[in-house]
Structure 1
Amino acid sequence: MTTIHLTTKIKAPKQIVFDASRNIDIHQQSASPTKEKAIAGVTSGLINLNETVTWRGKHFGFYLTHKTRIPVMDFYDYFVDEMEDGKFKSFRHEHIFEEQNGITIMKDVLQYETPFGIFGELFDILFLEKHLTNFLLERNKVLKEVSEKTSITNQKP
């Protein structure tokens, strides 16, 4: 099993960051390099507890689908998305939000297992872990930009 840990500091209240993180439209914006689109389940707006979304995107030259469910959500501190159907053996992404002095500290803990035994492990070491890390970094960059812009807009009289 591979685990990716990321921490992103965002100058916005955690409620704004939390909602941006579960916003299907913002995810599609951040995933534009892979042409990722929501094709089933919740396809726009905010995803909530026990809802699903099926994504279709181009990764490593192939269009792949990935269906996830939100089995855990604790407003505005934590939520999890887990794969229900897709190419991974297992896939669980924890989203953690803490606020300190007006800054939201957003933590991602992504754990996944690849299929195909040693071949899957080799693919992960050579390509997949870096690909997923970069995918999350781009997502978090967009989340930071959108959340900070929203926060500034909400502060104006």
Structure 2
Amino acid sequence: MPALIEVVSVINAAPSVVFDLTLDVDVHTASLPASRETATTSTGRRQLVLGDEVTFHARHFGLAWRMTSRITAYERPYRFVDEQTRGPFRALRHEHQFQDFDGVRTQMTDRMTISAPLGPLGVVVTWALVAPYLRRLLMQRAAHITYLAQAHEP
């Protein structure tokens, strides 16, 4: 049974600003300093677009993690999706939506669906530990993007 994590933030910045910050791998890694995350892109560019892959290396739960995701949908500045192609989950799909309120405010919604490996044990670990942990990481990343986006706006 997949776990669904959703985090909604309202940011005082235009959707295009928020969208671009969210696809910047340097912004992503800077938002999670405790995990010492690094990111390597398939193209060498730091700003991701449709079809790009990015491999993240980080420490979570005291363990080294490696995950590669691909941008599988891209509708600037309203929506994009990244999906795990290699990594610790049976499946991970992360949909990012950006709703324009009035040209100066954006509702950013992170909707992540994860399916656990390891059968029933993996499901229990995912629901009890991994999903709440990922929710906190998404909230931390959203706060960082909010700070940068609002500092960027005049």
Common fold: TM-score over 0.5? yes
CA distance in 1 between partners of 2:149 and 2:43 (Å): 21
- Contact 1:38 / 1:44 at 8 angstroms: preserved in 2? no
Match of 1:17 in 2: 18
Match of 2:33 in 1: 32
Match of 1:74 in 2: 75
TM (norm. structure 1) is 0.93
Match of 1:106 in 2: 108
CA distance in 1 between partners of 2:54 and 2:127 (Å): 28
RMSD: 1.1
Match of 2:85 in 1: 84
CA distance in 1 between partners of 2:87 and 2:149 (Å): 30
Q: Does 1:122 align with 2:131?
A: no
Q: 5+ residue gaps in structure 2? A: none
Match of 2:9 in 1: 8
CA distance in 2 between partners of 1:35 and 1:42 (Å): 22
Query: Which AA in structure 1 matches 2:51?
Result: N
CA distance in 1 between partners of 2:26 and 2:92 (Å): 22
CA distance in 1 between partners of 2:126 and 2:116 (Å): 7
3-state SS of the aligned residue for 1:17?
helix
Between the two proteins, the alignment pairs up a number of residues equal to: 152
- Contact 1:24 / 1:43 at 8 angstroms: preserved in 2? no
Once superposed, which parts of structure 1, at least 4 consecutive aligned residues long, lie more than 4 Å away?
A: none
TM (norm. structure 2) is 0.95
Match of 1:133 in 2: 135
Shift of residue 41, structure 1, vs aligned partner: 2.1
Q: 5+ residue gaps in structure 1? A: 153-157
Query: Which AA in structure 2 matches 1:50?
Result: G
